[in-house]
Amino acid sequence: MRKHLLAAALLAGLAGCQDGQAPTAPTASTEQAGQSQADAQFAELSKKALDTWMQLSPVSATQIGDHRYDGELDDLSADGQKKSLEASKALLADLDKVDVSKLGRENQVDAAILRNQLQSDIWNNETLQSWQWDPQVYNGLAGSAIYGLMAREFAPLPERLKSATARIEKIPQIFAAARANLDPARVPKIHAETVAKQNKGILSLVETFITPNIGQLEAADQQRLTAAIDALNKAVAEQQEWLDKTLVPNAKGDFRIGAEKYDQKLKFSLNSSLSRAEIGERARAELTRVRADMYGIAQQVLKDKPGAPEMPANPTDDQQQKAIEAALELAYADKPARDKVVDDAKASLAQSTEFVRTHDLMTLPDAPVDIILMPEFQRGVAVAYCDSPGPLDKNLKTFYAVSPIPDDWNDKQVDSFLREYNSRMIHLLSIHEGTPGHYLEGWHSGKFPSTLRAVLRSGLFAEGWAVYTERMMQEQGYLDNDPLFHLVQLKFYLRTISNAILDQGVHVDNWSREQAMHLMTHDAFQQESEAAGKWVRAQLTSAQLPTYFVGAQEHFDTRKAVQDKQGANFNLKAYHDQILSYGAPPVRFARQLMLDQPIQ
């Protein structure tokens, strides 16, 4: 009970307030009084927005750390969608009444973030309408409803099991909403097929987290939970039959969302000053530059090697390609065993953490991180991810999840995967997902006092930071300045670059699979299995893949601007700690705060 009250108190007391304090009373200064009144008005609106979101999305509330609604589920029915739309429009109208120019700087940032989110929610509901054509909306909610309750020990196990029981009883409503809302004519076949494969994954969550612990409950609660699980099994079977016999055969939608919707979604998703055209132009220039750098490393590591390819000063495309591929083969030779990927990830995370400590690159977290096997219902989109605790759940573990190699893969598939995720790439993965990437950034960002900013944490900032740290660690000499590590780091960065190009190519330029695969396997040197998985991801998502590249560019640009301003006084650790202190807003706002520029 205290946990729930604490969450409610934080929502009321921190949302939208600067420096974690309630708005101050008006002073004698007219300007200060106006600012204080505006800040107080915005704090109330922030609280209202957060409370509204928590009530409308109990599953997100659990993940955020507000546990007042742990036994409830989001209403994905048509009526529920209408209610959400009306709430977003009402909040936006309230925001329009706030004189943003009179807010403190941090609240000006939060107001801009809030406006972007509300406009995005309205556009998604009215124009993109994912709930009418994307079955992932329903499958993801069903899995997260259980996983969010059981993965972390935010409350005693029996209490979480009771909440899980209530949610399991309601999950059939999610399936019913999917069958009622989804129009097979608008559903892309790749979406239908993916969800058909993932559907039973929710039962593995129950088997992993719920079933072994039923004995923790009193007899009556055990009976209720057992009945709920039995009903869920039947509901999953019914949903599987509908997916296999109705949705998949009749799915006729186009996975491409087109230029108009893509540009608008990109604007909301990134909250960046860069347009699609500017992103594409910058990405193509970076692709050329990085390949040239990789060729230079190839000349270094292949020098005097027997059988080395021809490496003239001004190579043709074919000569450049063969030299880089030959150099990468040296890195591919050092790879983990099939069953040691997770063990190697743990070891590399420890090594990257120690490097940050000994080189004093930034303040290290004091909260725990666990490397886990990725839950089955979340597999199939990315090889790894970082799952930080919600902003209201303090001192809980961060999960660095790694997808295992599927049991049914043959030796050729496994070899392709392990060439891509060779030992040096595992180091980069642990840098990106762990330290000093997502895990460290999430810990720093979680200390910022605005709950609103924590809830609306920018993916652009987070993903861009993780990519930034890959280059930063290499520049600082990680793995003893190993040139092959540098080569693999550049290859990993090529993936970031190609992600941005691929997303536009697929959703705007109508790229074929062959065009996409050429970009990834030829231009970016990805293995067939990695590229094939990214092709699927590019079809299943839109305007998310560019966040890595655009965020990284803005982080690189921001550090250069601060270095130029501070000159000889620039300190890397101080810079890192300061940029991370703002709670992960879109990078352009962190830059404006850092350089004392107007918030725009």
DSSP string, 425-438: HHHHHHHHHTTTTH
Residue among 209, 211, 216 at smallest CA distance from 229: 211
- CA dihedral sign of residues 33, 38, 43, 45: positive
Alpha helices in 518-580 (DSSP H): 528-540, 546-566, 572-579
Residue among 539, 510, 506 at smallest CA distance from 188: 539
Alpha helices in 459-523 (DSSP H): 459-475, 478-481, 483-507, 513-517
CA 137 from centre of chain: 16
Residue 215 tokens, joined: 């004995």
Please give the chain's pLDDT, 600 residues, in tens.
322 322 332 233 333 333 333 333 333 344 455 568 999 999 999 999 999 999 999 999 999 999 999 999 999 999 999 999 999 999 999 999 999 999 999 999 999 999 999 999 999 999 999 999 999 999 999 999 999 999 889 999 999 999 999 999 999 999 999 999 999 999 999 999 999 999 999 999 999 999 999 999 999 999 999 999 999 999 999 999 999 999 999 999 999 999 999 999 999 999 998 999 999 999 999 999 999 999 999 999 999 999 999 999 999 999 999 999 999 999 999 999 988 888 899 999 999 999 999 999 999 999 889 888 887 766 655 678 888 888 888 778 898 988 888 888 898 888 888 888 899 999 999 999 999 999 999 999 989 999 999 999 999 999 999 999 999 999 999 999 999 999 999 999 999 999 999 999 999 999 999 999 999 999 999 988 889 989 999 999 999 999 999 999 999 999 999 999 999 999 999 999 999 999 999 999 999 999 999 999
- What are φ and ψ of residue 11, in 5° steps? -60, -40
Alpha helices in 151-217 (DSSP H): 157-181, 189-198, 201-205
CA angle 585, 589, 590 (to 5 degrees): 75
Residue among 549, 550, 562, 567 at smallest CA distance from 590: 562
The predicted pLDDT at position 378 comes to 62
CA 471 from centre of chain: 19
Residue 517 tokens, joined: 């695969």
Contact criterion met (CB below 8 Å) for 311 and 402: no
Tally the C-alpha atoms within 13 A of residue 243's C-alpha that lie toward its C-beta. Answer: 25
Residue among 13, 76, 19 at smallest CA distance from 50: 13
The predicted pLDDT at position 9 comes to 29
CA distance 249 to 246: 6
The predicted pLDDT at position 448 comes to 94
- CA dihedral sign of residues 441, 446, 449, 455: positive
- What are φ and ψ of residue 412, in 5° steps? -65, -40
Residue among 470, 524, 532 at smallest CA distance from 499: 524
Other CB atoms within a 10 A radius of the CB of residue 244 amount to 14
The predicted pLDDT at position 379 comes to 67
Residue among 535, 555, 573, 586 at smallest CA distance from 464: 555
Contact criterion met (CB below 8 Å) for 160 and 150: yes
Contact criterion met (CB below 8 Å) for 298 and 310: no
CA angle 498, 503, 507 (to 5 degrees): 150
Residue among 168, 164, 167 at smallest CA distance from 216: 164
Evaluate the omega torsion of the peptide bond into residue 436 and state whether it is cis, within 30 degrees of 0: yes
- CA dihedral sign of residues 513, 516, 520, 522: positive
